[in-house]
Chain A
């Protein structure tokens, strides 16, 4: 299951950031399939590489500030035969769009017994840790994990961002693509193959180790890898897993890892109550309780809104030192 990305043998690589990988994936998909369109606010101007000039206004649609409805326009366009990427920009704006995502996109295939399909991608970016206060800083993926009928992806690396976004565009079901602004500047070698796809529903082992399993979601991956690097100097080997897809969750990879380590730390930046870690912990206890040598530790944001003042916000999200402390606690 791990490292299961579909890669061609002869593929070449180029170094690029997480954000550039997303933009490249969009451009390649728009070039590949004339049904793919991009919709969003201010996309004619910001961060999309002169797309209007390249593809014209029939492919790149600049939206008025009408999230509740342009989300539904994207869904309707998908039903009508297109494959829209709807860029909702800031994740907190999803609340305005949530009726259309939940009551229409996620349900129409089921309610019509498969007559209607809804191949739409919603791109949402989680901005936080940037002093933009409570109404712009949410990480709301766990709310949508409670909705049947959605696929939810949360890549942490540039190559996965490219490969998963392309898989999402080619998928026949609605997909929520949660990107994390904390990862935008992450750089790595990304395959140039325009058909480079990362399958939806497969986790990745980012670093192997036999002592403790750390599952890190989205922006929590950076401090998790930093913690693993530091612990390795003391010969403590942490296995770091990126679920990459939150729905459907690849629990097999996590359960196999914990069978080896017997210890599990879950790290994410969403609020604590009923988040992705809650679900992973619950499934672990249901399916593989006997593998656990110690209780599961969850490191998350507290059940408190994101404050404006950077001094206050800094304390919100799990840091490297807390992850290290959690790993030590499980080994003590």
Chain B
């Protein structure tokens, strides 16, 4: 599959946007400007962007607690995302979702579920909806290697295959469910192979190679749009940071420092793609221009977030229901 120059630029731009957004977010989180928990997508950019670039704007996406990369990969504005991390009213979910739930509906994200495996049935339902409504949109469902062991994975893939729903199940296999490795928790560690049991194609791909992810996802999207049903894609990727920024896990390390260093040195998806682009004729200045543009966008996002207003505590009861109903409101004395 040939990938045009503007598409390659856009892939690099989006990957770099995720990287810099996460680096700055981590810094602000550590500085106490972002409350809650922070799960960074650093190391997983090629998987996210390769998959999202294979979609149309009107295609839907469901994601996970590691939710920052998905909307950026789908093309979201960084400002409301950063504001959401800070719990601001100007955030994409007006401060009601936060770091684990950056669901930007304007780019098709219909949910970032922090319950592992919780988004898999939702994506399947969005696929069912497209089939009933006879429209050709697809839904791409991100989940991790840990979610593969949830019952919702089994039940949903069975239904999607049974009814040939337009869903792409994309496993971001970063090797670890917090500290539990795939090897120690999967009877069949080759996750793509599980597809066969459900009667759908299953493909493993190098998740650090954005072109490879883009290519297999594009093929899966084409099948889904043509009514030929779902695909399971296992993208083998790696999480460079701890499960959660600042998380201290005592006892025997679940992964070695050498392993992490080796991945960061030899398997950094951004460095790999930069090399690829340079070898294909992109100039340093072309890439530098994209990088500068992203730096400015991230800075603008931080300023927008910092300057944004906090939610009014009187708005606690907002967004519970679509229509006004008799609902007891209790103000504490």
Contact = CB atoms under 8 A, between A and B. Distances in A.
Interface of A: 35, 37, 58-59, 61, 63-64, 66, 68-82, 99-100, 103-104, 108-117, 148-149, 151, 171-173, 200-201, 248-252, 283
A100 B121 contact: yes
A73 B319 contact: no
Interface residues of B, number: 48
A148 to B, nearest CB: 6
Given A68-B151, A112-B96, A248-B328, A73 B128 contact: yes
Contacts of A64: 155, 158-159, 162
B118 A72 contact: yes
A173 B321 contact: yes
Interface in B287-304: none
Contact of A113 (B94, B115, B124): B94
Given A82-B132, A173-B323, A112 B103 contact: yes
A163 B331 CA distance: 34
Contacts of B327: 248
Nearest to A67: B155
Contacts of A72: 118, 120-122, 124-125, 152, 156
A219 B253 CA distance: 57
Given A73-B124, A76-B124, A248-B328, A103 B129 contact: no
B121 A70 contact: yes
Contacts, number: 167
Interface of B: 60, 62, 93-97, 101, 103, 105-106, 110-111, 113, 115, 118, 120-133, 139, 151-152, 155-156, 158-159, 162, 318-323, 325-328
Nearest to B115: A103
A88 to B, nearest CB: 14
A110 B122 contact: no
Contacts of B101: 111-112
Nearest to B315: A113
Give the most central of A73, A173, A249, A251: most B CB within 10 Å: A73
Contacts of B106: 115
